[in-house]
Amino acid sequence: MPLQQLVNAITLGSTYSLVALGYTLIFGTLGIVNMAHGDVFMAAAFAGLFLVNVLGFNIWVALVGAMVAGALLGLILEYAALRPMRRRPDISRLSSLISTIGFGILLQNIFLTYLGPESRTFDHSFQSSAWSLGPITVTPSDLMIITVSLVIMVGLHLGLNRTKVGKALRAVSENPEASSLLGVNAQSINLVAVALASAIGGAAGMLVGIAFAVHPIMGLPYGLKGLSIIVLGGMGSVPGAMIGGLILGLIEVMTVQFLASSWRDAAAFALLFVLLVVRPGGLFGQPYSRGRA
Amino acid sequence: MKQSVFTPRLTIAFFLIVLVLSAFLALPLTGAAATPAKIGVVLALTGDLSAYGIPQRQALELARDMINESGGVLGQPIQLVIEDSRGDKNGAINAVQKLATRDRVLAIIGPTLSAEMFAAGPVANRSRVTIMGVSNTAVGIREIGPYVFRNSLPEALVLPETVRRSKEKLGYTTAALLYSNNDDFSKSGADTFREALLAEGVQIVATETYQTSDTDFRAQLTKVAAANPDVLVISSLYKEAALLLRQARQLGLTQPVIGGNGFNSPEFISVAGSAGEGAIVGSPWFPGRDHPKVREFVTRYQERYGTEPDQFAAQAFDGLFLFAEAIRIAGSTTDRLAFRDALASIKNFDGVTGVFSFDENGEPSMKANILQIQNGVYVEL
């Protein structure tokens, strides 16, 4: 396999991992699948685009801005679509799935109505330059994607294991009732989880936007990939989402290289299927998830 | 029902409606002797597709005013009756029905989309009203019926010409074909390209596909780079085409690029940026062509609407002039059958998009413009 394809796979996989992390954080803590994640990803990318193209900010400032925008949208999502559903223990968990779908559609249509369906690109030299390193070509956006993903993944890992909030997050994800009894405020931990997941989603949106383009339906394909990765990695598993994303990227690129490009998605999902038959709980999950889903 | 339907109030209302309706019906009869040429227009003027319909309406209104300024046709002015289909099949059917039966127009221009024409064309055909699409490129428009025409060049005519002329110029012998395989437009464009390339003796050394809405094409492009073709041939909507081209240039694929109609959009240039430089595309319209009619159209359109006319505007503009020519040949502003036969007989009509004829099957026949992007604008190859 040409070395270039490996670079392609790592870059592609890193963006998948970042998208999947958002899903897995929310699923792990709240026990729901956030169908609006792809649209938060898109909206944050637009926020980054606005900061760079209209206000003329530096690309790194805009990355932080996109993450803040993502977090704010996460807060709105929590208050508008998730918390009202949680208050009613009598209604099924499916209702919050539907309310997040509604939130996503609303977000998408706001952007479609006011900005139209066109693709926009960042006014930045990242868009056209590239470096040749022997047999491989690397673009600045590749390096940015790989670096930012690494920083976020390592940061998240440390944060979850070393900080108090991180430990509380894991405790709620392990057993919400017991952690509540031990004095963890589950309500605010949920808020942290949604905001953090959406901020990471925002970073992913910004990175994809820099590498490619920003448009109102960009979240859809990434959302689908992200969802399948958390199934592959194990629902709610953070390392599962990271490794799962890289595996999916690698499978897709290898399919194009060794089979045919029209098999790209089919082969990727066929392999996912086989993996799930062998390990129903996903790569890093228990055979049966902890009595939540 | 307990009561009689005809309460006094309802009876009065009924008579009022009959009165009003008969007044409407009487109108066309009273002025039948020397009437303006009434042309119906069905376009997508609101909603998503209004980006295509609005330039069409603007061009038609400009053409109408230009014809009427110079004395109209057969001494009569041209009158447009414009209906909005919203880009919707039912909207188009209703509009055509209204134009054919209530407004009693001589003939109809539109609708904007091929899909709308497939729905509304048969309605016009049954009413024996000529309907001519000015932006329908799909296969099978002409086959709807004897009263259905188009002046827009079908893809099957433009793409082979693009391949032939670009090969003359560049002399390539191998090509890579890249296309999105999940939308009709790109797939049929790719099939037409493949046939045209093979017919010209070009060897296709790599075929790679992707999906509309994909953003990362580097795996496919890395493979194409290994096959090292002389040219890249791309059939895609503008968004994917532009992203793909950008990634191709980043990965060091410097080959010339030939594209389908998706390349024919200012949006393509804006997303592709410098990666779009040198790309070759076949187009029915070239605003920079050195011809007095083109210059007059472009200047007056720009003065009136503040933007350069696009391909949709240009084809609509020529459409109304074709209709005026047909009325002149038919010698009547009301005879629908004479109009149809006159339109079908038009040959070598000199319009802004080029010299236009209907062939023996009533399909448009004209030379496509082969354009190349240079410094961010389309110029003739």
What pLDDT is recorded for position B104? 94
> Which pLDDT does position B19 carry in this prediction?
57
Q: How confident is the model at residue A202 (pLDDT cuts 50, 70, 90)?
A: very high
B249 touches chain A (CB under 8 A): yes
pLDDT tens-place string over residues B187-203: 888 999 999 999 999 99
**Chain B contact for A139 (CB, 8 A cutoff):** yes
How far CA A107 is from CA of A46, A76, A199, in Å, comes to 12, 11, 16
- Residue A207 backbone phi and psi in degrees, to 5: -65, -45
- pLDDT class of B4 with cuts at 50, 70, 90: low
Is residue A287 very low, low, confident or very high in pLDDT (cuts 50, 70, 90)? very low
Q: How many angstroms separate the CA of residue A279 from the nearest CA in chain B?
A: 28
Express each pLDDT in B81-100 by its tens digit.
999 998 889 999 999 999 99
CB A55 within 8 A of CB A48: no
Residues on chain A touching B210 (C-beta within 8 angstroms):
261, 264
pLDDT single digits (tens) A122-159: 886 665 677 877 778 888 888 899 999 999 989 988 88
From the CA of A119, how many Å to the nearest CA of chain B? 7
A227 near A41, Cβ under 8 Å?
A: no
Q: How confident is the model at residue B30 (pLDDT cuts 50, 70, 90)?
A: very low
CB B192, CB A226: distance < 8 Å: no
Confidence of residue A185 (pLDDT cuts 50, 70, 90): confident
Q: What is the pLDDT of residue B177?
A: 96
Q: What is the mean pLDDT of chain A?
A: 86
Q: For residue B373, what are the β-bridge partners?
A: B378
Dihedral angle sign, alpha carbons of residues B334, B336, B339, B341: negative
pLDDT tens digits, one per residue of A72-89: 999 999 999 888 888 877
- The mean per-residue pLDDT over the stretch B246-272 comes to 87
Residue A52 has pLDDT above 70, yes or no: yes
Residues of chain A with C-beta less than 8 angstroms from the C-beta of B252: 130, 132, 137
**DSSP string over B31-92:** T-SS--EEEEEEE--SSTTHHHHHHHHHHHHHHHHHHHHTT-BTTB-EEEEEEE-TT-HHHH
* Set of chain B residues whose Cβ sits within 8 Å of the Cβ of A218: 215
Q: Which residue of B has its CA nearest to A222?
A: B214
Q: B-chain residues within 8 Å CB-CB of A128?
A: 246, 249-250, 273-275
Least confident residue range of A203-217, B11-25, B48-62, B150-164: B11-25
Min Cα separation B11/chain A (Å) = 47
Mean of pLDDT over chain B: 88
For residue A112, give the chain B residue with the closest CA: B48
Antiparallel, parallel or unpaired: β B257-259 and B280-283: parallel
- Interface contact B252-A220, CB threshold 8 A: no
Question: pLDDT-derived band of residue A289, with 50, 70 and 90 as boundaries?
Answer: very low
Q: Specify the DSSP class assigned to residue B202.
A: -
Residue B29 has pLDDT above 60, yes or no: no
Set of chain A residues whose Cβ sits within 8 Å of the Cβ of B208: 256, 261
Q: Do the Cβ atoms of A257 and B223 come within 8 Å? A: yes
Bridge partners (DSSP) of residue B379 are B372
Q: Which residues of B touch A8 (CB under 8 A)?
A: 216, 218-219, 222
- Residue A128: the pLDDT is 62
3-state secondary structure of A204: helix
> Residue A122 to residues A52, B174, B217, B378: CA-CA distances in angstroms?
7, 34, 19, 23
For the residues of B168-198, what is the DSSP string, one character each? HHH---EEEEEEETTSHHHHHHHHHHHHHHH
| pLDDT tens digits, B329-376 | 999 999 999 999 999 999 999 999 999 999 888 889 888 889 999 998
When comparing pLDDT for A161 and A63, which is higher? A63
- Max mean pLDDT among A108-112, B153-157, B274-278, B320-324 falls in B320-324
Residue whose token pair is 């009598």: A90
Residue B13 has a pLDDT of 66
Residue B237 contacts A where some CB pair is shorter than 8 Å: no
Longest dimension (CA), chain A: 62
pLDDT at B27: 47
How does residue A1 score in pLDDT terms, banded at 50, 70 and 90?
Answer: low
